[in-house]
Structure 1
Amino acid sequence: MVPEYLIPYIAYVVALVVCGVAIWKGDRPLRLAATVLIIAWAITPIFMGRDRHILDYPITIIDTNTALIMVWISMRWRRVWCAVLAALTILVVLVPFVHLSDPGIHLYNRYAANNIISNFQLVVIAVATWRLVRDRRRSGEGVLQP
Structure 2
Amino acid sequence: MSILNTIDLIAYAAYLIAVTICGLAVWKGDRPLKLVAVVLLVAWVLSTLTGKRNVYGMNYPTTVIDTNCALIFVWISLRWRRLWCAVLAALMIIEVTIPLVVFFDRDIRRYNQTLSYNVVTVLLLAVMSVAIWQTFRSRTRANEALQA
- TM-score (ref. length: structure 1): 0.91
Q: Percent identity?
A: 47
Q: Distance in 2 between matches of 1:47 and 1:128?
A: 29
1:22 matched to 2:7: no
Cα offsets for 1:79-125 (capped at 9, x unmatched): 10000000000011000011112111111100000000001000001
The aligned residue for residue 71 of structure 1 is: 74
C-alpha distance 47-80 of structure 1, shift in aligned 2 (>3 A)? same
* Pairing of 1:40-119 with structure 2 (within 5 A): 40-51=43-54, 53-119=56-122
* 1:53 to partner: Cα distance: 3.0
The aligned residue for residue 140 of structure 1 is: 143
Deviant stretches of 4+, over 4 Å: none
Secondary structure, in 3 states, of the residue corresponding to 1:140? helix
Question: What is the total number of aligned residue pairs between the two structures?
Answer: 144
Q: Distance in 1 between matches of 2:66 and 2:53?
A: 18
C-alpha distance 54-4 of structure 1, shift in aligned 2 (>3 A)? closer
CA RMSD of aligned residues (A): 2.1
Q: Distance in 2 between matches of 1:47 and 1:65?
A: 15
The aligned residue for residue 37 of structure 1 is: 40
* 1:51 to partner: Cα distance: 3.1
Structure 1 residue ranges without an equivalent (≥5): none
Residues 53 and 107 of structure 1 are in contact (CA less than 8 Å); yes or no, is this contact kept in structure 2? no
Q: Distance in 1 between matches of 2:40 and 2:54?
A: 24
Q: Distance in 1 between matches of 2:117 and 2:43?
A: 14
* 1:54 to partner: Cα distance: 3.4
More helix by share: 2
- TM-score (ref. length: structure 2): 0.90
